[in-house]
Amino acid sequence: MSPELGAWLTRAQALGADYERGALDLAGGRVAAVLAVLGTLAPSPGTALYPWGLDGDHLWEPWERARQAVESLPQDPQERGAQADYILHDAAAGLLVLCKVGPWRPGCPRLESRACPRMAPMGHESPHAECNYWGWRGMAQAAPGVELFPEWQRFDCSRYYPLFQIHLCGEALAAELKAEARWSVHGPAAWLKGLSPYPALTSRPGAFTLLPTAAAGSLP
């Protein structure tokens, strides 16, 4: 590990897994996978890199605001939010890339604990009247094909949950920065196949890139 990557990891670990509603995914084996991908990055001049969405010892402020805009619920309890393993931003070119490194475990914790507000007719009990993601004003435009329809066994928001989270928060971030958002997911090739249907459920499927773990990350 390079000294620079070691310093970023130290900052992330000092903040802890519960920082800013779980903004940092520091689970066991995934840390090594994220570091491996970060070690392959070669950002072009003028491109800012934010490992784990951090700017020094805190979340990059535009990213923090985007998460808040999409995910803030009108009352407690709040939910754990989107996790970016790194963000690239080229302000001059108006380009933004939000990246996740897999594999990860899918599944919305509210749906799995029978606390999904949109599943109330199916017997779920939630302290909230609406899901923060489904209630976000940009959701229908950003992810028009995402469905939650138990009669058809469609639980898209849960099936692709971490990607769904970072997708919507990335759209909010891009709107604030007046940038074009793209998403890159790094992971084992066989595992990436399970995510491959998600881009087609969005309004901009070409903005998603699924990269085998060995591939270097850059602004595509």
Name which residue leads in pLDDT, 201 or 16: 201
Pairing of strands 180-187, 208-212: parallel
- Convert the pLDDT of each residue in 19-32 to its tens digit: 999 999 887 778 98
The mean pLDDT value of the chain amounts to 92
Domain that holds residue 97: 3-212
Beta strands in the chain (DSSP E): 47-51, 54-55, 58-59, 86-90, 95-101, 148-149, 154-155, 180-187, 208-212
Tokens (6 digits) for 65: 């605001």
The answer as to whether 85 is a domain residue is: yes
Band the pLDDT of 212: cuts 50, 70, 90: confident
Query: Which neighbouring-strand residues pair with 185?
Result: 100, 210
The answer as to whether 189 is a domain residue is: yes
Rounded to two decimals, what is the model's pTM?
A: 0.94
In angstroms, rounded to a whole number, what is the distance separating the alpha carbons of residues 56 and 46? 18
The domain total for the chain is: 1
The answer as to whether 168 is a domain residue is: yes
Percent of the chain past pLDDT 70, that is, above it, reads 95
Q: Looking at the predicted structure, is the pLDDT value of residue 47 above 80?
A: yes
- Convert the pLDDT of each residue in 70-100 to its tens digit: 999 999 999 999 999 999 999 999 999 999 9
Task: Please tell me the predicted confidence (pLDDT) of residue 219.
Answer: 47
- Are 150 and 65 in contact, with CB atoms under 8 Å apart? no
The answer as to whether 77 is a domain residue is: yes
Task: Please tell me the predicted confidence (pLDDT) of residue 167.
Answer: 98
The answer as to whether 220 is a domain residue is: no
The answer as to whether 205 is a domain residue is: yes
